[in-house]
Structure 1
């Protein structure tokens, strides 16, 4: 590889070379894992005392990383070799990288060996198409379904470790990090962004942007509130929670599990018991029910209610719920723009079919010369991104409840044109749900 003259290649060949080298890195990581686990087993036979720490330190030196990272790689190697054969095969074939393997192993750490194997089996086909973070979310979603109790206990233990930390950054700056429960942190971040966009857009009477961008206003708002000197209050912000009627209320398809995890778009799965507790805690005054209409097997979102009186932009929200994160393969950034796949200036329709969620960067990049985004099919919603060098990459919208969820074809298809009445069993059960928790 050191003698390869990349300057003599075409652009297409250069990108292909980068792709093949990435596959080689995955295969090399798998080989490292096998060698590391063999080293661990050999040491356990020769000198069983304090094997883990010694092997971890040696592996860390060989991998040029901190001892704690070496310890983690020893644990990763053990799980890959002995408990996750599908993931190990994907890593050996270069279909996933080490980061994805780390995410899956971490999210299944509390499971039994049998449940871990089931997670491995269920996400195996999706792994080559997922980024590292998405692979971890898929594993977490299945883990929450198989053993909700262990995941809930892990989340409860994590809540006890909540904290605020600070660390230095370049150029006289510093990072203030809040580690807390997902619901509160996501809600706080969304509220900050909403406030900042209002200020930057000139819609906030009590504060002017004064040349600041959204990021700067967000930081100033957070620091002002934390220090107690900011005079205003943030507006309420909606945190969407996608959950089946069966998991929330016990109604609906009796063949589905009441422990089927919920999902917060762009942030991953939530165990059903935790989601139910969140809704109970919110109460009827601040929790709104919006019905989501899916394909018959429950995989894809095809329509949704717009019954909330003060809620605007239903089409955009449908695109965000469907796509979850940026539709550029492996980007995994939160959706900022709901945009046209086929540009509106070229006749593209403003519809759910032609819509796709993008982060700011990817939305700008696809407008550059040589880039093209094409909708390949409607359900599941599939987008093909073509690059200037002639490579194509496919992106598939996840199932409505997240990667790793299984489809549930109904015993009988619904009658065409049927709909839920305003006083449906679902809504009566929701009224009972709130009354019981009052």
Structure 2
């Protein structure tokens, strides 16, 4: 009976059958179930997620091999970007899944088998793949075989530690080489955090990072304990003092000196000055492009604390409803001046759906070689990766409409994905209007 039902579900084809299975989840009567059955359902759905990852891996691996046979030079990067769009994630994660898929199908049969049955999840596969990345095919298979029995019983992080230990036993030289390569990849990065905060991350050798942290902690404790005549705690805890000290030293500032780096802060005249459209809220949140919203009182405090010499105001002209940016105080006919700033302010992050990387390139949507103009409407803010990928064979980006600025990306396989620039003050700032619902439907419908 189960086999008959399964066959019927896929009579129209695997893609349509899977869509039917997905839609059927919405019709499960949760209210009629006991708590035992509800938790059993959660368990089964978790297994389904693992099985779905295994099916994705097999499909992605097949696509990669097919594309490599046709165009080996452009295959990896192009497929990674297509996978990212299909999985609704960044191109970097798309590349990672392409690599994971190859490892699972070709070198980690036990891991793929457990994933197919739902005994483990995608995070398990990520951990074991990462920790065995520098091993030979034979050693990777050995790690896979040794850990096959324990995979379903341990956490993803525990599996990663176990794989790392076995890898060090089988090939210590490759592990040392990997650690040396990791040192060469040391870097500093920043990403937004909730509540108007941000993470500044320093990736470096463990010894140096731990030493720097110990020095910051010792300084913070001394300040809080009143042992530093040049600085008082002013009601701060040790953690806050350590963070303030690190940021001040990294920026090369003296105590009390204003941060000289330019930060774009977008907010309405009503929220900043209390003037303008009386229908707008005085406490309408501001936005830092690429990092998210900031409460209006916090934004006003930033402007006030910076002082008049450190604040420059530039008018932004919007559509009548205030949603989209249409002009600034001045503009140039290249993407290097204020026109580029407009593109960054409009797009916020890379305009490729689900990428979310910072805008690095302001590029022509319709290429100049095809007659595309250097104009605001024909511009798209993109990260370096996505800007290069769209030039690969089979890729195409088209302007669907200018306001709200909507682009349609067509991949080499013919799949289309729509991306719409956020409102000027960020997603969630415009009320649910018919046009917004149309935007949502546009992302769901084929071209």
Please indicate the TM-score interval, normalised by the length of the shorter structure: 0.3 to 0.5
The structure showing larger relative contact order (alpha-carbon pairs under 8 Å, at least 6 residues apart) is 1
Q: What is the TM-score normalised by the length of structure 2?
A: 0.46
- Which structure shows the higher helix fraction? 2
Q: Which protein has the larger Cα radius of gyration, Structure 1 or Structure 2?
A: 2
